[in-house]
Amino acid sequence: MLSKITTLHEKKFVGKKIKMSFSQNKTFELWQSFMPLRKEIQNVIGSELYSIEIYDKFFFNNFDANNEFEKWAAVEVKDFDKNTPNFETLILPTGLYAVFIHKGAASEAEKTYEYIFRTWLPTSNYLLDARPHFAVMGEKYKIDDRNSEEEIWIPIKRK
């Protein structure tokens, strides 16, 4: 299932964010507020949408579905020069990532994440790094279609 290990170079994003937990999932609300306004964003690179999660450094040490994290709905931009006050900005730092392809409905992504965190990561030569996680939803992404595909990027560092 692992697609590749790659170094991501710094990227700039414009979008909307919300605090949520796995038990109080507000993903639908976030995307519902972002999508109608996204055409206002200037200097967009590509047509991909990004779902970005920023977790506390110790979030996964004692996992609790009630712990909050920050979730973003965003697009990549060249710069922040001409963007409206309806949005916030985020810079993802350069770092190493493991990239996986989730095939199937978004509602079935839990199986992919379970594989990543319970099978692949513990047996790999890598540890989870404290940087943003994200999913890239490109041309093959079709929300809850069984033929949908999205890339899942997990921040890693060598053991």
Q: Are 8 and 92 in contact (CB under 8 A)?
A: yes
Question: Which residues, 6+ apart, have CB-to-CB distance to 86 below 8 Å?
Answer: 37, 40
pLDDT of residue 102: 93
Mean pLDDT for all residues in the chain: 93
**DSSP calls for 46-104:** SS-EEEEEE--TTTTTT--TT-EEEEEEEEEES-STT--TT-EEEEEPPEEEEEEEEES
Q: Is the pLDDT of residue 83 over 80?
A: no
Q: Mean pLDDT over residues 82-106, rounded?
A: 91
Domains, the chain, ranges and CATH?
A: 2-158 (3.20.80.10)
For the whole model, what pTM was predicted?
A: 0.93
Determine the pLDDT at residue 95: 97
User: Per residue in 17-32, pLDDT tens?
Assistant: 999 999 999 999 999 9
* Percent helix, percent strand, percent coil in the chain, to nearest 5: 20, 40, 40
